[in-house]
């Protein structure tokens, strides 16, 4: 279990620097590190809770992986890292109409229709997004397993 948590934490934390989306003819590739460098993601006292949860998920994943490597895996930390994309994703889905205006996308997308959004976006998704979502899913399952095993 420790090796799985380490690898999942490593994948999720490393996805910060990997390319998530590659939009042709729409500017540079999108990654969290590039967004932070460009000032789109800013951590500060006036940052939204969504920003804190998003960025905190990377830190929690890195810490969960490091603790697992040291033999001190934390179910709570794994769960927090794994649940962060779910929280941010649900919030984004609920505020989809507001997002459309802010993104200025070259293609018309109805974010309320998940199937149509996926059909348009699937060609642009790169390794970083898969590493983030896969690492988070594994950390969430490992965290829930560790916390439920500790209560027996």
Domain ranges for the chain: 2-84+125-150
Return the ∠ at Cα 56 (arms to 52 and 58), rounded to 5°.
135
Q: Kindly state the percentage of the chain with pLDDT values over 70.
A: 86
pLDDT for residue 152 is more than 60? no
29-38, 42-51, 88-97, 98-107: segment of lowest average pLDDT? 98-107
Cα 25 from chain centroid?
A: 25
- What integer pLDDT is reported at residue 142 of this predicted model? 95
108-112, 121-125, 131-135: segment of lowest average pLDDT? 108-112
pLDDT band for position 94 (50/70/90)? confident
Distances (CA, A) of 25 to 15, 28, 81, 128: 23, 9, 33, 20
35-44, 89-98, 126-135: segment of lowest average pLDDT? 89-98
Residue 140 vs residue 98, higher pLDDT: 140
pTM, two decimals, is 0.83
């Amino acid at each position: 279990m420790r090796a799985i948590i380490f690898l999942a934490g490593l994948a999720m934390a490393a996805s910060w620097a990997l390319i998530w989306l590659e939009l042709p003819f729409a500017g540079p590739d999108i990654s969290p590190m590039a967004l932070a460098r460009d000032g789109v993601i800013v951590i500060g006292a006036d940052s939204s809770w969504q920003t804190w949860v998003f960025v905190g998920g990377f830190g929690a994943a890195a810490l969960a992986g490091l603790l697992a490597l040291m033999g001190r895996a934390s179910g709570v930390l794994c769960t927090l890292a794994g649940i962060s994309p779910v929280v941010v994703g649900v919030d984004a889905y609920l505020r989809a109409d507001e997002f459309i205006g802010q993104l200025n996308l070259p293609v018309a997308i109805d974010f309320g229709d998940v199937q149509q959004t996926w059909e348009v976006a699937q060609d642009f998704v790169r390794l970083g997004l898969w590493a983030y979502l896969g690492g988070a899913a594994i950390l969430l399952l490992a965290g829930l397993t560790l916390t439920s095993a500790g209560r027996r």
